[in-house]
Structure 1
Amino acid sequence: MRDKVLRWCRENAMLSPGQTVVCAVSGGADSVAMLHILCSLREALGVTVSAAHFNHRLRGAESDRDEAFVRKLCDDWGVPLAAASGDAAARARETGESIEEAARNLRYAFFASLGQAVATAHTADDNLETMLLNFLRGTGLTGLGGIPPKRDFLVRPILCCTRQEVLAYLDAHRLPHVEDSTNAADDCVRNRLRHNVLPLLKAENPALAETALRTAQLLRQDDAFLDCLAEAALQTASAGTMAWRCDALRAEPDAVRTRAVRAMLQTIYIPKLSHAHIEAVDRLLFTDDPSARVSLPSSWEARREYGRLCLARTADAATFVPVPLIPGKTIRIPELGLKIRCEFTKNFAKNRPGTFTFACRCDMIGATNGLVVRPRRSGDALRLPGGTKTLKKWFIDRKVPAAQRGLVPVFADDSGVLAVYGLGQNLDCRAAEGEPAILFYIEKECK
């Protein structure tokens, strides 16, 4: 088993000479065997070996017994030990996680804090159980790929070994270990698989754990290749920050496109990203609704902006506070980056010196103190050369994204809309040569 682990570590470039590897030791059979083997391979691998133990405080005196056992084992073997504890049950109550999730998150946060490569004692049987669990829950290639030999700061030196090989190794070297009493109970799916299902499967294929390990490796290779295609698809479809062209993504094969959607969603924090989330966002690419949106966890949403698919924080509709317009005065709207001035003229001349954005007949404007620049309102309408339409229909025609429509300045008086910035002036109130008029000057300010 020692030689097998050495080959496995070298084949997977798991550890580098001069590196320190921290063995996660629970005190169980697998972790004790791993620690013993890595200590024996220190010279062959050129590494320094230490240990870490985390007490989840879930089994009372038994948890304390495990910690005491690991402390004595490391002391007897001369292995430096880092130990910590946390209340997994309390975390589960606070966060809504399951006990298993809370314990795992506490444990791995501790491991990450050590700043070294951490070796966990997963075996080929653990990999087989994980593949079956993922299959039962529903998964794709990633889940069927099981447990990888290494990921981030984690390495799995004995993943190539079966549980039977571990027990034989302990017997051969007369190594002590402790048993977790919860492993004997059938109160969780993994244990039921281990006790009731796997013996039947192994009766058909005694080398099932090794077979599953090879299968997982092949699936991970395919998975990694498809990931590369998906990343390339996202880069090709990129249409700005957190935005992608729908037509480019629709052109991709289903297997690449849905994986690209998953990668897209993984750029934001969505706990427990599910297939339902991926399907819902994928459907946005094909919808005929140019302003459709999908709510996502953690206050995010995916939305269509005509030909683009965008990810953004969920928030109240963007808008600005209405500002009164007084002839002869200049106002600024910082959130829009605009400077606006209006002035009165008794005799409008189209060729007057200077520039103005639009001019309205005075008899078409209510009392001048009723002039305002504001966001659109329900029912607002505007007559342009193409006819009279509501602002909503004009925005749709001009493909103004729904999320930006509340930021388009509307110039109005008490009787209605005079002009809309970026769309045009209401033809019903346009000033003619020689008429008294209000001139509106709009200037885009540099940020």
Structure 2
Amino acid sequence: MKEQFQTHLIQQFPEFQNQQLLVACSGGLDSVVMTHLLVNSGYSVTLAHCNFSLRGSESDSDSAFVIRFAKKLGVPVYTETFETVSFAEEKGLSIQMAARVLRYNWFDELADMLSLKYILTAHHLDDDLETFFINFSRGTGLKGLTGIPELSGNLRRPLLEFSREAILEYAQANKLKWREDSSNASDYYLRNALRHQVIPHFKEINPQLLQSFKVTQEHLKSSRLLLEDYVGLIFSYVAEKTENGYQFSVEKLKKLPNTKALLFELFQSFGFTQWEDVLQLLDAQTGKRIYSQTHVLLKNRTYLELELMKESNSNPEAEYLIPKGVSKIETPIYLTFQIVKAIEQQESGICYVDEALIHYPLKLRKWKKGDVFHPLGMSGKKKISKFFKDEKLSLLEKQNIWLLCSNETIVWVVGMRADNRFKITENTQSILKIQLQL
């Protein structure tokens, strides 16, 4: 394997020559073998190890092992310990996703601090196959089926050509030691279930599965490149640059074949995933819009207008007091206040409340962790964070939501849902109409 690895590096990663490489090393089989191969092939490496504090003393032992391993090889090593569980809870992420965010953010910071150009991870061919199955099972486009890229920004994955079996044979032949992550034995995670229960059966049916998979991957990547060329041509045909983004001709989009698939390819790089919503936007009324995590797509007469969402420039800690009798405010958002005799139209941008239940001054502020309200039309209470999750709001959408409060009690999640505690009843004598002006 050593000779194959060296040839692979020379052909596919010539940029490694005369560079100090930052190598992600967990202490497991794959990263230990990659590190050993690099050092014995004459490359200069610095190890980076993450302790995610998820397995108690076992995690600490992994860190100690990597430090000893680096010392034995005579290479520098950096370690970092994370409070992964608390970070996941704070950010509303799964443990796996939280660990990924922490890991790659730290790798980037470390690489920048040490002025290192490349970060190497030890993903291999079996990992790539597992990723293919994961994406396939969840539903994905062509891009998701092309697997793990060898190059992605400053990340490099030089083991992707090699199987787990070949890596294990190298480790045993060179009498290497490594750490076994006990969580890898559990089938709780989808990847582990595929690794232990599904893929072995495929390999029994087809012993050449990995080789066949590599060929398929090459075909898929070639098809992907061809599709990207076609979409590039279509983009220049249907889209025009605007001051804030792009506008797409609805008429031209409708005339093109395979419209839904084309919309997927045009807009997936901007974070859109709800393809039925995107398709329906073509026939929607002017003013209809949908959001991704980063962009807004607006129907404006004969065009779809794409813009990057702007974060609110206001201080997230700022609070705006609204005294009784005010008919409108224009900062930080435009709201109007009017006493009416009856409920007129009911829209998401209008809130009707029993004024007798209001304590002035009203307060306008951003949402905070732990905020709770009683959604109109529901019994009981709900955390604002859970409400946002149920509404499938993007990060930027959440950041741009305002809460209208009476004292500290939420009256209205502005533009979305009123609070049940201020609703109009048969005993209401004074109705306050609050309207968001867009």
Instruction: Classify the TM-score, shorter chain.
Output: 0.5 to 0.7
1:131/1:144 contact within 8 Å kept: yes
- Output the CA distance in 1 between the equivalents of 2:257 and 2:10: 37
- Output the CA distance in 1 between the equivalents of 2:194 and 2:208: 17
2:278/2:290 contact within 8 Å kept: no
Cα distance 1:110–1:236, how it changes in 2: closer, same or farther (>3 A)? Answer: same
State the AA in 2 paired with 1:146: G
Name the residue aligned to 1:283. 280
Name the residue aligned to 1:81. 77
State the AA in 2 paired with 1:50: T
Cα distance 1:16–1:73, how it changes in 2: closer, same or farther (>3 A)? Answer: closer
State the AA in 2 paired with 1:134: N
State the AA in 1 paired with 2:198: V
2:252 to 248, 255, 261: 248
Deviation, 1:315, is 11
- Output the CA distance in 2 between the equivalents of 1:158 and 1:299: 33
State the AA in 2 paired with 1:48: S
- Output the CA distance in 1 between the equivalents of 2:256 and 2:40: 51
RMSD: 2.3
Name the residue aligned to 1:230. 231
2:289/2:299 contact within 8 Å kept: no
2:2/2:37 contact within 8 Å kept: yes
Matched residue SS, 1:311: strand
Deviation, 1:234, is 2.3
1:293 to 284, 288, 293: 288
Name the residue aligned to 2:342. none
Name the residue aligned to 1:427. none
Matched residue SS, 2:15: coil
1:307 to 291, 302, 305: 302
Deviates more, 1:130-139 or 1:205-214: 205-214
Equivalent positions of 1:261-272 (< 5 A) are: 261-263=267-269, 265-266=270-271
State the AA in 2 paired with 1:303: L
For normalisation by structure 2, the TM-score amounts to 0.65
1:117/1:153 contact within 8 Å kept: yes
2:132/2:147 contact within 8 Å kept: yes
The aligned length equals 302
Deviation, 1:256, is 3.7
Cα distance 1:170–1:233, how it changes in 2: closer, same or farther (>3 A)? Answer: same
Deviations 1:330-374 (A, max 9, x none): xxxxxxxxxxxxxxxxxxxxxxxxxxxxxxxxxxxxxxxxxxxxx
2:91 to 92, 95, 98: 95
Deviation, 1:298, is 4.6
State the AA in 2 paired with 1:244: F
- Output the CA distance in 2 between the equivalents of 1:227 and 1:60: 46
Cα distance 1:169–1:283, how it changes in 2: closer, same or farther (>3 A)? Answer: same
Deviations 1:256-284 (A, max 9, x none): 44201223x24xxxxxx53x2x3322332
State the AA in 2 paired with 1:26: S
Q: Does 1:11 align with 2:11?
A: yes
Q: Does 1:148 align with 2:137?
A: no
- Output the CA distance in 2 between the equivalents of 1:77 and 1:279: 55
- Output the CA distance in 1 between the equivalents of 2:72 and 2:35: 13
- Output the CA distance in 2 between the equivalents of 1:252 and 1:6: 48
1:24/1:53 contact within 8 Å kept: yes
Cα distance 1:298–1:202, how it changes in 2: closer, same or farther (>3 A)? Answer: closer
- Output the CA distance in 1 between the equivalents of 2:122 and 2:58: 20
Larger Rg: 1
Name the residue aligned to 1:194. 195
Q: Does 1:30 align with 2:30?
A: yes
Q: Does 1:20 align with 2:26?
A: no
**Which structure 1 segments of 5+ residues have no match?**
267-272, 317-377, 379-447
Name the residue aligned to 2:102. 106
Deviates more, 1:3-12 or 1:71-80: 3-12
1:301/1:314 contact within 8 Å kept: no
Name the residue aligned to 2:327. none
Name the residue aligned to 1:50. 46
Deviation, 1:207, is 2.4
- Output the CA distance in 1 between the equivalents of 2:194 and 2:168: 20
Identity of aligned residues (%): 33
Deviations 1:207-242 (A, max 9, x none): 212322332232122213322322332233233232
Equivalent positions of 1:284-363 (< 5 A) are: 284-285=281-282, 287=283, 289-298=284-293, 301-312=296-307, 313=309
Equivalent positions of 1:379-398 (< 5 A) are: none
1:280/1:294 contact within 8 Å kept: no
Deviation, 1:299, is 8.0
1:33/1:166 contact within 8 Å kept: yes
Cα distance 1:163–1:300, how it changes in 2: closer, same or farther (>3 A)? Answer: closer
Equivalent positions of 1:431-446 (< 5 A) are: none
Name the residue aligned to 1:72. 68
- Output the CA distance in 1 between the equivalents of 2:62 and 2:149: 27
- Output the CA distance in 2 between the equivalents of 1:297 and 1:216: 29
State the AA in 2 paired with 1:260: L
**Which structure 2 segments of 5+ residues have no match?**
313-344, 346-438
For normalisation by structure 1, the TM-score amounts to 0.63
State the AA in 1 paired with 2:96: E
1:258/1:282 contact within 8 Å kept: no
1:34/1:121 contact within 8 Å kept: yes
- Output the CA distance in 2 between the equivalents of 1:56 and 1:206: 36
